[in-house]
Chains A and B, each alone.
Chain A
Amino acid sequence: MDAIILQILNGLDKGSAYALIALGLTLIFGTLGVVNFAHGALFMIGAFCAVTLSRILTLSHTVVDDSRTDFLGNPLKVEVPYVYDWFGQAAGDTIIDWAVPLSILFAIPIMALVGLAMERGLIKHFYKRPHADQILVTFGLAIVLQEIIKYFYGANPIPTPAPDAFRGSFDFGVLLGFDPNTIIYPFWRLVYFAFAMVIIAAVFAFLQFTTFGMVVRAGMADRETVGLLGINIDRRFTVMFAIAAVVAGLAGVMYTPINSPNYHMGMDFLVLSFVVVVVGGMGSLPGAVLAGFLLGILESFASMAAVIDLIPGINQVIIYLVAIVILLTRPRGLMGRKGVMED
C-alpha cells in the first residue's frame, strides 16, 4: 500500500509538468487549430526566466573588506550583491533564496510577450496552411529558440535550487498513519503539484466563469458562428495563445529545482506532451490534464523494480505503448470529441 502511494506521488511531479504543457498545447490547438511544436520551447524559456532572475538577483559589485584578510595577508575582496545594498543582508539573502518563486512574477509578462510575438509574428500566417506546414514551421521555430538560449546560457544544465524552506524531504507516510520512513517525499515536488493544480484550476475557472472564457469556449466549438455574431474572436484567440505561453512558462519556472534546466529540456518534454495530448484527446482540456497525470503516474509505476523484473524495459516505453494502443483503438483519445483531425 505504502509503495503504491509512493509511486503515485512520484508520478505527480512529472504528471504535473505533462498536464501543464499539454493543457497549453490543447488550448492552442482547440482555439487556433494550430499544432504547436514550439510549445516545449516555451516551457524551456520559462525555466530560463528563473535562471535569469536568479542571476540578476545575485549581480554583485566588489568591495574591499578591511576587517578580513585573505591568505596572503591582503585585505579581502568580497562580492556583494546589489540586493544587499538595497534591502540589507538578511532581506537580501531571503530574496536570493526565493529566486525561483519570485521568477513567477518575472516570467508572466515575459512569457505573455513571447506568446504574443509568436502568434502575431508567425503562427497567425499559418492558420489556413496544412497541419504538416504548421508542425514544420513551429519545429523550425523550436530549433531557433533553443539555439538562442544555448548561445546565451551554454549547453550545460544550470542548477537552480528551491528556497531553503522547501529543500529536503519530509515523511509523508506519517501523515497517513504509516510507519515512519516508508513514504519520504521531497517538499518541492509537493509544491510543484499544488502549483500545477492552482494553475489548472485558474485556467478552467477563467474559461468557465468569465465572459471572455465563454466566448473562447464558444469559439472553440464553432469559430465561424461566433465570428458572425460580430465578436472579434481572433483577438481573443491571440490572448489565449499568450495565456497558453504563460502556463507553459510557469510550468518551466517551477520545474527548475526538480531538474536543472538545459536548452533541450523543452524538446524532451514536448515529444511526451504530444503523446499526452493525443491520449487525452485532441482538443479536450480535461482530457489533456487527466492524461498528463495518468501517464506520469503510469510511468512511475512502470519504473518500480518489481515491474521491471516482470517486463524488462517497460519503464522506457510505457507512455508510447499506451499512446499506440489508444490511438489504434480509440482515435479520439480518452475524452476527445469525435472527428477532430480524424480526416
Chain B
Amino acid sequence: MLGLNRKDAMLLMVVVLLTLFAPFLLNPFPEGSSLAQFNAGYPDLMQRFVIFGIFAIGFNILFGLTGYLSFGHAAFLGAGSYAGVWMMKLLTMNVIPAIIVSVVVAGLFSLLIGFISLRRSGIYFSILTLAFAQMSFALAYSVLTPITGGETGLQLSLNDPRILGVSSTGDGSIPVTNLFGLEMRDSFEWEVGAWLFTFNAGYYVCAAVMLVAFYVAIRIFRSPFGMMLRAVKSNQQRMNYTGLNPKPYTLAAFVISGMYAGLAGGLMVSMDPLAGAERMFWTASGEVVLMTILGGAGTLIGPVLGAGLIKYMENIVSKINSTILHEWFAFMPDGIEDLLVTLVYPFIGKGWHLTLGIMFMLVVIFLPGGLVEGGQRIGRLFRRRDRKGTGVEAPAAEQRRKTPAE
C-alpha cells in the first residue's frame, strides 16, 4: 500500500487512526472528575503534540540515520516561524502560503548552515551548529528587530498590508488564520454523557500535515538514500572507497530535517500567529534532542512518542501540585500520606524537568533505542511467554510483533 511493505503500512495505519481519534483517546476522563486534569484532548496541546512530532521526525532523519548530532535545530524552526508570520503580514491569513514559505526559508537557511557545519564532524559539528543557532538567536533578539520584532516577538497588526486579504476585519480586529475560509480556531464540541470532546480544525490540519510528513519519513527510511545515510553513520571511509560521496548525502539529510523544522515552525504560527526569538534558543534545540532520543533515535515512531511524552509532561504533569497529591494519597494514614507526598512532590508539578532528566539519563544508559526499544523488549518478553503456552497462540503473538523500528 502506498509503496510501503506490510509492516510499515500497518504502522502508518495505526498512526493515522491514533491521530484521527486523538480527541477521544486523549480525553478518557469525564469532565469535572478529579482525573479530568489528565485529559490532554484540548486543541492547543493536541496541536503541539503533532507539531513537535513533525520537528522530532525531521531531526531523527539527521541524527537517527547519519548520527550527526545537531544542537542548533531550533534555529530552523524559528526561521520558519518568522517567515510564516511575515507571509501573514504581507500576503494573506491563509495558512498554505505561510507554511510553504516557512519550509522554503528554513530549507535555504539549513542549506547555508549545513554546508558550513558539515565541513566538520563529531563534537565539532555539534558545537558549530550550536554556535550558529545561538548567533541566530542573539541577532533575532537584537539587531534584526525590524524583521523579528526583537524582544516582543513578531506579531500581526492592524496596519499589515495583507495584499490578498484584509488588514482588519469589519469589527476592527486582526483577521484569524484560516485554510480557505476554515478558521484554525474553529472547534466542534461534542458532549457524550459526562465527557466533552473537542474537534479543532487547526488540530486536524496539523495532523494531516504530520501524517504526510510521517509517510515521507517512512519512504526515506526505506529508500536507497536512507540506506546511504545509515552508511554515513556506520563507516564514511568505506563509503568513500565504494565510490560514494558522503558529503551531499549528509547535507541532503541536514536540509530535509531543517525543512521539517521549518514546517513545524510554519504550523506553529498558523495556529498562533506569533513568533519569538526564544524559539531559537539552544534549550529549544536541546528539547528536540531529548524528544528524539527518549522516544528512540533511528526508529520511525520513536520521535513522535518522545515529542508527545515531553509535551504531555510539560503541560499536564507540571500542573500537579501538592494539594492534588494529598487528595490522591488521602486514603492512607496521615503520616504515610505526608511522607508519600514529600517523596513524590519533587518529581512532578514544577519539578517535571527532574523526572525528564532522570528518564533521559536512564534511556541513554540502558535503552539506546529509547522507549521503542523498551516496548520491543517487553513485547519480546510476552512473546516468549506465549510460545511456552499452547502452540495455537504463537501465530497471534507473531502478529502482535509489529515492530516499528528496523
Contacts and interface: CB of A to CB of B under 8 A. Distances in A.
Q: Within the complex, are A and B direct neighbours (CB within 8 Å)? A: yes
Interface of A: 35, 122, 125, 131-133, 135-137, 139-144, 147-148, 150-151, 267, 271, 274-275, 278, 282, 312-313, 316-317, 320-321, 323-324, 327-328, 331, 341-343
Given A278-B127, A320-B134, A343-B122, A151 B361 contact: no
Interface stretch (B165-173, B332-340, B351-359, B384-392): B351-359
A278 B124 contact: yes
A143 B356 contact: yes
A275 B141 CA distance: 20
Interface string B126-138: 1110111011001
B258 interface: no
B143 interface: yes
B360 interface: yes
A144 B357 contact: yes
B351 A316 contact: no
Nearest to A271: B282
B364 interface: yes
Contacts of A342: 122, 124
A132 B297 CA distance: 12
Contacts of B142: 312-313, 316
B69 A132 contact: yes
B67 interface: yes
A43 to B, nearest CB: 17
Contacts of A125: 365
Given A274-B127, A324-B128, A343 B121 contact: yes
Contacts of B236: 343
A275 B354 contact: no
B293 A136 contact: yes
B346 interface: yes
B123 A282 contact: yes
B263 interface: no
Given A151-B346, A324-B116, A328-B119, A143 B127 contact: no
A142 B283 CA distance: 12
B247 interface: no
The B interface, classified by DSSP as helix, strand, loop or mixed, is helix
A211 to B, nearest CB: 32
Given A139-B286, A140-B358, A324-B128, 14 more contacts: A35-B123, A137-B361, A139-B289, A143-B354, A143-B356, A274-B127, A275-B130, A317-B135, A317-B138, A317-B139, A320-B134, A323-B127, A328-B119, A342-B124
The A interface, classified by DSSP as helix, strand, loop or mixed, is helix
A327 B129 CA distance: 11
B377 interface: no
B401 interface: no
B120 interface: yes
Contacts of B357: 140-144, 147
A257 B69 CA distance: 36
Given A271-B282, A316-B139, A341 B353 contact: no
Contact of A316 (B132, B141, B358): B141
Given A316-B141, A320-B134, A140 B364 contact: yes
Contacts of B351: 147, 150-151
A230 to B, nearest CB: 32
A323 B131 contact: yes
Contacts of A35: 123
Nearest to B360: A140
B264 to A, nearest CB: 22
Contact of A135 (B120, B123, B361, B365): B123
B219 to A, nearest CB: 26
Interface in B60-86: 67, 69
Contact of A132 (B67, B124, B127): B67
Nearest to A316: B138
Nearest to B126: A135
Candidate in B69, B121, B124, B351 with the most chain A CB atoms within 10 angstroms: B124
Contacts of B361: 137, 140-141, 144
B135 A320 contact: yes
Contacts of A282: 123
Contacts of B282: 271
B116 A137 contact: no
Contacts of A274: 127, 130
A313 B360 contact: no
Contacts of A136: 69, 289, 293, 360, 364
* Interface pairs A-B: 9 shortest CB-CB: A313-B143, A143-B357, A316-B138, A147-B354, A140-B361, A144-B357, A320-B131, A140-B360, A137-B364
B60 to A, nearest CB: 14
19 contacts: A131-B122, A132-B67, A135-B126, A143-B353, A143-B357, A147-B351, A148-B354, A150-B351, A151-B346, A313-B142, A316-B138, A316-B142, A317-B139, A320-B134, A320-B138, A323-B127, A328-B116, A343-B121, A343-B236
A317 B293 CA distance: 30
Given A35-B123, A147-B353, A147-B354, A312 B131 contact: no
Nearest to A328: B119
Nearest to A35: B123
Contact of B132 (A135, A151, A320): A320
A192 to B, nearest CB: 25
Interface in B281-335: 282-283, 286, 289, 293
A275 B131 contact: yes
Contacts of B368: 133
A156 B332 CA distance: 35
Interface string B66-108: 0101000000000000000000000000000000000000000
